[in-house]
Amino acid sequence: MTSPCMENGKCKKKFPKPHTNDTITDIDGYPMYRRRSTENGGHTFTMRLPNFPNQVEFDNQWVVPYSPLLSKTYKAHINVELCSSVKSIKYICKYVNKGSDLAIFEVQNINKNDEIARYQMGRYISSNEAIWHILSFPIHERDPAVQHLAIHLENGQRVYFTEENVLQRAFEAPKTTLTEFFTLCQKPDVFGQFAKTLVYGDVPRYFTLNKSSKKWEPRKQGKPHPSITGIFKAKTLGRLYTVHPKQRECFYLRLLLVNVPGPTSFEFLRTVNGRVFNTYQDACRELQLLEDDNHWDLTLADAALTSTPNNIRQLFAIILTTCYPSQAQTLWEKYKNCMTEDILHRIRQTNQCQNIDYTPEMYNEALVLIEDLCVLISNLPLNHYGMPSPNRPATDLVNTDLQRENQYDHGSLATIIMNSEPLLTAEQKIIYDRIMLAVAAEQGGFFFLDAPGGTGKTFLISLILAKIRSQQKIALAVASSGIAATLLDGGRTAHSTFKLPLDVHNKPDAMCNIKKNSGIAAVLRKSSIIIWDECTMAHKYSLEALNRTMQYLNSNNNFFGGAILLLSGDFRQTLPVIPRSTFADEINACLKQ
């Protein structure tokens, strides 16, 4: 039998009570009430208890003292005991004066992932580890040593200068591990001749970089070379900095440095079999260091059999921007007719003539469409991928940026509006209606949406974006961080959209790097609203730079050039991050200051 009053298998209230024929009272204790057994005229009853298969029989031993009058009056089970001692008054007064009932509770988020608390709760430091730290013994070792090796194009070294030495730095090209490798390979001595047998990444094994002179010097310790006196080999590894394929020439330069031993100059790397190539990519192709484009050729050939020209153009743009084929123009020349079929069909239908053939103008239109796709994917033009640049009419120069803001599916926007508007709270509805009125009035305005995290700011902003875009208007969405930008449909970072200076926190009078005749300038002028999420993370100079830029682009001295700007953020979260600054500097950089 289980019950809340059970302890170690026994009832804490001493049930069942012993049978007795008479009631016996005690001065200080509970009375022993008369409890007759069945032999002396007592009663029994049976009942079914939870988790018991059979009924259980009870007699007077199990009856709790009660008052029939109180039970009937209050319709409840009330334990009534006889208080026969004066001490009971003190006992009763304790209950009267003890105060109200108390309960302590806390609402917790069971899904909260508090990494700091989990680390603090789970961290264990033994006595061995403690004394190890106290005595400053080494925690870890790294072996072998790693020498970082610079990668840069000719005259592309990074230059550090101050106002005092700017002229000196301008006329003296800084030495790097790469330029000094060329110098080492040019030496006529035994060390220079040996260096010509090495590729760039193997140099640190036999030479060490003098940090003061920035020159490669032969090692004096290590395993002696078996045939060359004065050459010692160490375990040091050379690590060439990684280069993304988007940096095409620098990427192919790195590929040559990994494979070509003993280069004496940048031109030497571009020279293959006595022929000097214009690009490092051509040199790599001549040395057969590049994979052929057969895979992409087969991919486009398969698509040409089953896909529409529009789908083939999309596939080709994806291959260009993500797969980096070595001979992109060759693929274009082979499949340009497949990518232009719909343009040819449209022109034949327009002119009602089936004898019209492909023309350079048709190919140019297809290239324009492909370049628009490449810009949408990677924000880079076609010539960056080794393709010919299309000839765009002057009126078409802004299409790339405007197309990005006009490509939204109005069916999806209508669904968002229909599902989201009924979910607005009363406060959100007031803000939503006020912003919609400002957009309809086209008189400009400045709004700041301040609320703690998780209260629906992103939800409201997404609805505002959908509503304005469904009206064939432009709503520009930016955020201070990349993660916040991904939460907004069509969102981008503020720095990339507004072309803010990288060191804007050092430039109180900065402006965005946007020209009046550029595509993004046209987008900013035509935007019905500009929404900047997580703006509390941005330096106040960023907002001031945007204000000056909008006034310049719109030729309007009103606040933000008369545009509507909606800022959103939470000052309770991350403030502007300033390198090597104090907390006071961060406070001073806030938009509130």
b/e map of 512-546 (b: 16 or more CB within 10 Å)? bebeeebbbbbbbbebbbbbbbbbbbbbbbbbbbb
43 lies in which domain range? 12-92
Q: Is residue 307 part of a domain?
A: yes
Q: How confident is the model at residue 395 (pLDDT cuts 50, 70, 90)?
A: very low
Q: Is residue 106 part of a domain?
A: no
420 shares a domain with 388 = no
358 shares a domain with 470 = no
582 shares a domain with 476 = yes
Q: What is the 3-state secondary structure (H, E, C) of 328-349?
A: HHHHHHHHHHHHHHHHHHHHHH
The secondary structure element, H or E, covering residue 565 is strand 564-569
Tell me what pLDDT residue 316 has. 94
505 shares a domain with 373 = no
For residue 394, pLDDT over 50 is answered with no
- Give the C-alpha separation, 182 to 192, whole Å: 10
357 shares a domain with 452 = no
Please work out, in degrees rounded to the nearest 5, the angle formed at the alpha carbon of residue 401 by the alpha carbons of 493 and 494. 15
Q: Which residue has the tokens 């406060």?
A: 427
Q: Which residues pair with 446 in a beta bridge?
A: 565
79 shares a domain with 61 = yes
The secondary structure element, H or E, covering residue 466 is helix 457-470
How far is C-alpha 470 from the chain's CA centre? 28
Quick one: which of 297, 275, 295 has its CA closest to 286? 275
553 shares a domain with 418 = yes
CATH number at residue 423: 3.40.50.300
Q: Which residue has the higher pLDDT, 591 or 142?
A: 142
The count of structural domains within the chain is 4
Q: What is the pLDDT of residues 212-264, one digit of tens each?
A: 888 999 999 999 998 888 899 999 999 998 887 778 889 889 999 999 999 99
Residues with Cβ within 8 Å of 463's Cβ and at least 6 positions away in sequence, in order, are 416, 417, 420, 421, 424, 432
- Give the C-alpha separation, 252 to 269, whole Å: 10
Q: Is residue 168 part of a domain?
A: yes
**Backbone φ/ψ region at 580: left (φ over 0), alpha (ψ -120 to 50), beta:** left
Secondary structure (3-state) at 450: strand
The answer to whether 491 touches 483, Cβ cutoff 8 Å, is: no
Question: Which of 27, 62, 92 corresponds to the end of one domain?
Answer: 92
- Give the C-alpha separation, 4 to 199, whole Å: 81
388 shares a domain with 429 = no
Q: Is residue 507 part of a domain?
A: yes
Tell me what pLDDT residue 397 has. 45
Q: Is residue 120 part of a domain?
A: no
Tell me what pLDDT residue 236 has. 92
For residue 86, pLDDT over 70 is answered with no
The answer to whether 390 touches 368, Cβ cutoff 8 Å, is: yes
Average pLDDT over residues 191-214: 92
Please work out, in degrees rounded to the nearest 5, the angle formed at the alpha carbon of residue 252 by the alpha carbons of 248 and 257. 150
Q: How confident is the model at residue 336 (pLDDT cuts 50, 70, 90)?
A: very high
Tell me what pLDDT residue 271 has. 93
Q: Is residue 326 part of a domain?
A: yes
For residue 94, pLDDT over 70 is answered with no
Q: What is the pLDDT of residues 467-493, one digit of tens each?
A: 999 988 889 999 988 888 888 888 888
- Give the C-alpha separation, 207 to 217, whole Å: 5
The answer to whether 558 touches 548, Cβ cutoff 8 Å, is: no
522 shares a domain with 448 = yes
Please work out, in degrees rounded to the nearest 5, the angle formed at the alpha carbon of residue 323 by the alpha carbons of 320 and 326. 75
569 shares a domain with 432 = yes
- Give the C-alpha separation, 431 to 203, whole Å: 65
Amino acid letter, 107: V
337 shares a domain with 433 = no
Amino acid letter, 292: D
Q: Is residue 497 part of a domain?
A: yes
Q: Is residue 67 part of a domain?
A: yes
For residue 587, pLDDT over 80 is answered with no
The secondary structure element, H or E, covering residue 446 is strand 445-450
Question: Which of 254, 286, 318 corresponds to the end of one domain?
Answer: 286
Residues with Cβ within 8 Å of 261's Cβ and at least 6 positions away in sequence, in order, are 196, 197, 198, 199
How distant, in Å, are the alpha carbons of 16, 35, 182, 290, 556 from that of 61?
5, 6, 105, 96, 96
Q: Is the pTM of this model over 0.75?
A: no
For residue 535, pLDDT over 90 is answered with no
Q: Which residue has the higher pLDDT, 571 or 413?
A: 413
* Pairing of β 237-240 and β 146-149: parallel
The answer to whether 443 touches 497, Cβ cutoff 8 Å, is: no
260 shares a domain with 183 = yes
Q: What is the pLDDT of residues 148-162, one digit of tens each?
A: 999 999 988 888 878
Question: Which of 251, 286, 321 corresponds to the end of one domain?
Answer: 286
Q: What is the pLDDT of residues 436-448, one digit of tens each?
A: 998 888 888 888 8
Amino acid letter, 328: A
Tell me what pLDDT residue 265 has. 93
Average pLDDT, the chain: 85
Q: What is the pLDDT of residues 307-331, one digit of tens each?
A: 899 999 999 999 998 888 888 999 9
The answer to whether 214 touches 172, Cβ cutoff 8 Å, is: no
Average pLDDT over residues 128-144: 87
Tell me what pLDDT residue 307 has. 87
Please work out, in degrees rounded to the nearest 5, the angle formed at the alpha carbon of residue 130 by the alpha carbons of 129 and 136. 90
Residue 413 corresponds to which tokens in the numbers above? 């926007």
The secondary structure element, H or E, covering residue 541 is helix 540-554
